[in-house]
A and B are shown apart, each in its own frame.
Chain A
Amino acid sequence: MRRLVGFLLAVAFCLGGAAQHVVRLAISMEPKSIDPNIAYGTEFSRVLNNLFVPLVDYDYFARAPVPCIAEKWEISADGLQYTFYLRKDAKWSDGTPLTAHDVVYTVRRIVNPQVGSPYGTWFDMLEGYGEPDLTALGVVALDDYTVQFKLTYPASFFLALLSGILRPVPSWVVEKYGDRWTRPENIVVSGPYLLQSWEPYNKIVLVKNPLYFGANNVKIDQVIFYYVPEAATAFSMYLTGDLDELRVSGEYVQRAQADPTLAAQLHAISALYCQYVGFNCSVPPFDNPLVRKAFAAATDRSKVIAALGGGADPAYTFIPPGISGYIPPEAGVGIKYDPELAKSFLAQAGYPEGKGFPTVKFGYFADERGARIAQALQALWQDTLGIKIELMPREHATYFETVVAGAYNVFLLGWGADYPDGYDFLCYTFHSVRGEQTVKWYNPRYDALIDEAARTIDLGVREKMYQEAQKILVEEDAVIIPLFYRSSFILTKPHIERPYTPVSAWDARVWEWSIKE
């Protein structure tokens, strides 16, 4: 098997040898794992998505799931049964065909509590979920190329969920090597690229996988991911041509915009992430919605964004553009910046001009971004409302715990999409049972809407429910103050041709790129 991989690498090399197209990218965080069932977070999906293909992919232009390993699928009328017909030419990099059994194995693995996958609980709609015997789980291989899922309720977001988290893994490799199966010498992949080498905190090198079913269309032969944690260094590397593509934010966006050559290479992509301020609604005076609305109305998002150096779109609702349930600002949902209104809210709550208001404890995750946002908000709120804010930066290992423990009145958090559906945004965060328990707020109408939406197949109706839920969240009860949706500005060298989706996760879909001759 290893010899075959070596042979493949050699072939890949020779094929590329004639005209080697290499693309060099940067990652700012070292991937903790590239096991698709375990990796949780943003940076590593850049690497991971080039190595493993999902059962179902998601097209952000069409905003719909599209075939990948699954050529087509059927959903039963009651929405409880999903049958996927897999393509027959999908292979693993060691030559083994990719079959339905691999899909079944992977789903069981994700759900298996022994494995500790962060997505395990999201498959709770499958029959047999929670049973100790994993073979009872509602996923079966009807034959080598057909997989069937049986659900206990018609989860409308199921396809979106799969597109986000279901990438099959090779069972024989995982069983043989355990935790170390993703190392370059052991790993077997299904995607457009092979993992040639991984020098931790230095660089990761991928080469084209000739056995990938779409290999004919893959134009880039080699991808190198450099680990560059410092924005200044990465920017320098882009200027010298050591990097072909770079995500920039804040002041570097301005720098790029100021330079005509760079400005031409700059593209903005909206990232599926919302930064927000949450309230601890259990401690007075923040148990009073009027107080929370006062703070919301005192938030001038443009100034907060300016403090970050720009590069973000203000958010008045929670779900970002590109995901079902997004409410455009024109719809008027949410609390806009209105200092007079803010003052009147506060007065109505019993604290005219902020008199008698206790010092507000504002907790945040201590990194550069958090510090800027927190200080900007502190200045804004103190000026408008006449109150005192005490900033409490916390290091990341303890931050979330302290939020859940209720140590603050106000805290800074964010949420990025795990899969492209509003359910991901609304449920795992603020749902009273399944949520993170950060805001300590329970509204049965909100919960009911979410639960109902999970079962509603009609996308139009579902969207309305998500929107209604957000209205409760940000306007009626004002439990959070959404601040902004993060934008990703990308600098790409002119010789690289690539599609720019209007929104994206943090993907680098290098198999869709090519070099302009």
Chain B
Amino acid sequence: MIRNKIIRRVLRNKRVVIAGSVVLFLVIIAMLAPHIAPYPYDKVDFGHIYQPPSKEYPFGTDYLGRDIFSRIIYGARVSLVVAFAGAAISFLIGTLWGMTAGYFKGTVDTLLMRIVDFLYAFPSMLFIILLMVVFKGGVMQISTTAFIRAINAIDNAMGGLLFIMIGIGAVSWVGIARLTRGLTLSISSEQYIEAARAIGNSPVRIILRHVFPNLFGPCVVYVTLQIPGYILTESFLSFIGLGVIPPTPSWGGMIAEGCRVLLVYPHAALFPAAALALTMIAFTFLGDGLRDVLDVSL
């Protein structure tokens, strides 16, 4: 009964509806990429290198004459997978971790937060590059363990995405843990939590019913704000040879390539940057709207 109410409220919020549709639209595009894209993303056309937008190539071409429009569509896949996987992993681990620490306080809090503090002090860039080097350095290729070879094969089949997702997930959950722990600390001191505890509600029930909904807003906003970061991390990795395996397109990679020639062929960076911006705006407004709706005090 309450769930219906919530769903109805969600659907009534204008921002959620609009932004949510855009996100849905992007997801559908990503899934239907092979059917929508006018050209395969790796179709090379040496005669049309760095063409500005034209009828033949609506967004122009890149340095191999590949259609940027098609590459952006396929790139949606990559960016969305990276975004969703990264967001999901970090959200799940982070909120669980932070709520547990913030609610139980005492030794539990100390232990969990000390680990978080340590991981926070560990530069994520270092860690992710080290991870990527190990994953992609060629060592896993010739490993003797079948499991490791299998994972490597899956990663190759995904164009290099699996390891990127693992890497990003592994370094980003820490921020959310900190955030949720801080909020949980504040919320736990509130009167109604005390009341619930006094009544005899179990910690799990209290956490899920009272604490979690209050965190949801800032968490969603925070995670949504991290998404550009994930995509940028992936683009940076692609650039030093530790990201997607060419010719797999990724918006971040395309932006990075395009920026090299920004002063000469601006269209190469502009379109992927616009796609990225659109996706960001959509996710952000979605997060905004959802937070507005799920505010517990109503």
Interface residues of A (CB under 8 A from B): 230-232, 235-236, 250-252, 254-255, 300, 303, 306-309, 365-368, 371-372, 374-376, 378-380, 383, 390-395, 397-398, 402, 407
Contact = CB atoms under 8 A, between A and B. Distances in A.
Contact of B246 (A232, A236, A300, A391): A391
A311 B137 CA distance: 32
Interface in B145-177: 156
B257 interface: yes
B247 A375 contact: yes
A309 B240 contact: no
A366 B138 CA distance: 14
Choose among B50, B64, B262 the residue with the greatest number of A CB atoms under 10 Å from its CB: B64
B242 interface: yes
6 contacts: A232-B259, A307-B63, A368-B260, A376-B64, A397-B133, A402-B137
Given A231-B260, A232-B263, A378-B247, 5 more contacts: A251-B261, A307-B49, A371-B246, A379-B64, A395-B137
Interface in B243-262: 245-247, 257, 259-262
Contacts of B138: 392, 394, 398, 402, 407
B242 A395 contact: yes
Given A232-B262, A376-B64, A398-B133, A393 B42 contact: no
A390 B156 CA distance: 9
Nearest to A235: B263
Interface of B: 42, 44, 46, 49-50, 63-64, 133, 136-138, 141-142, 156, 239-242, 245-247, 257, 259-265
B64 A375 contact: yes
B63 A391 contact: no
B157 to A, nearest CB: 11
B45 to A, nearest CB: 9
Nearest to B261: A251
Contacts of B49: 306-307, 309
A376 B44 contact: yes
Contacts of A371: 241, 246
B46 A307 contact: yes
Contact of A391 (B240, B247, B261): B247
Most buried by A among B241, B262, B263: B241
A242 to B, nearest CB: 15
A398 B139 CA distance: 10
**What are the 4 A-B residue pairs with the smallest beta carbon separation, nearest first?**
A366-B241, A379-B44, A393-B241, A303-B46
Contacts of A380: 44
B242 A251 contact: no
B264 A374 contact: no
User: Of A303, A307, A390, A393, which is in contact with the most chain B CB atoms at under 10 Å from its CB?
Assistant: A393
Contacts of B262: 232
> Which of B42, B242, B247, B264 counts the most A-chain CB atoms under 10 A from its CB?
B264
Contact of B241 (A303, A308, A394, A402): A394
Contacts of A235: 263
A237 B133 CA distance: 35
Nearest to A380: B44
A300 B64 CA distance: 14
B263 A255 contact: yes
A397 B142 CA distance: 18
A393 B245 contact: yes
Given A376-B44, A379-B44, A394-B138, A232 B260 contact: yes
Contacts of A372: 63-64
A367 B240 CA distance: 6
A252 B264 contact: yes
